[in-house]
Amino acid sequence: MIRNRFRGSSDHVLDNKGRLNFPARFRDVLRNRESEILILAPWKRYLRVYPIADWEALEEKIWNEGPTGDLNETFVRYLMRNLEECTLDKQGRIRIPQNLKQAVGLDKEVTLSGMRNWVEIWDRDALLVDNAQAEENFEKYENQVRKLGSY
């Protein structure tokens, strides 16, 4: 089966150098998308990891929208100056720089969550809080999915 989307979650531990094992199923997606370069982007309480082609498509939309549209110039500037480009090492790990770990509050224990076209890296404790909030509103979300006719 060819995997072209990031799905599922897995728990990992950052080593002392900020390296993180990228799950094999996510590496399969990268291989199928022929993407060796990743973009790490701080996103409020977590990091987003994009294959370079997906990031560049989003970047085009951001620039075409321009800072005078719905995208605030301050947000665009923050995002663009805090991006980090990386590749997987021979052991299938990425390195998360200290400034990005601090920006989103990553400690040693993290969870990687596939979100279709990108991967989120959450501090495990922050993700537990986020999941609890989602569970509180589950019925509302469930009703919205029903309206889509998906289930």
How much is the average pLDDT of 81-85? 96
Q: What is the pLDDT of residue 62?
A: 82
Alpha helices (H) along 1-115: 24-32, 52-65, 73-81, 98-104
* pTM (two decimals): 0.89
Provide mean pLDDT across the span 78-86: 93
Pairing mode of beta strands 19-21, 93-95: antiparallel
Q: Is the residue at 144 inside a domain?
A: no
Backbone φ and ψ for 136, nearest 5 degrees, come out as -60, -30
Residue pLDDT, tens place only, 35-72: 999 999 999 899 999 999 999 999 888 888 766 666 67
Report the mean per-residue pLDDT for the chain.
91
Structural domain span for residue 27: 9-123
Most confidently predicted of 15-24, 74-83, 130-139: 15-24
The token duo for 16 is: 């002392």
What is the total count of domains within the chain?
1
**Cα 150–Cα 124–Cα 126 angle in degrees, nearest 5:** 80
Q: Mean pLDDT: which of 2-6, 103-107, 135-139 is highest?
A: 103-107
Residues 104, 106, 112, 113: is their CA dihedral positive or negative?
negative
Q: Tokens 């509050």 sit at which residue?
A: 105
Residue 137, domain member (yes or no): no
Polymer length in residues for the chain: 151
pLDDT class of 139 with cuts at 50, 70, 90: confident
What pLDDT is stored for residue 140 in this prediction? Answer: 80
CATH of the domain at 78: 3.40.1550.20
150: tokens are 């998906």
What is the identity of the amino acid at 84?
A: E
**Considering the domain boundaries, does residue 70 fall inside one?**
yes
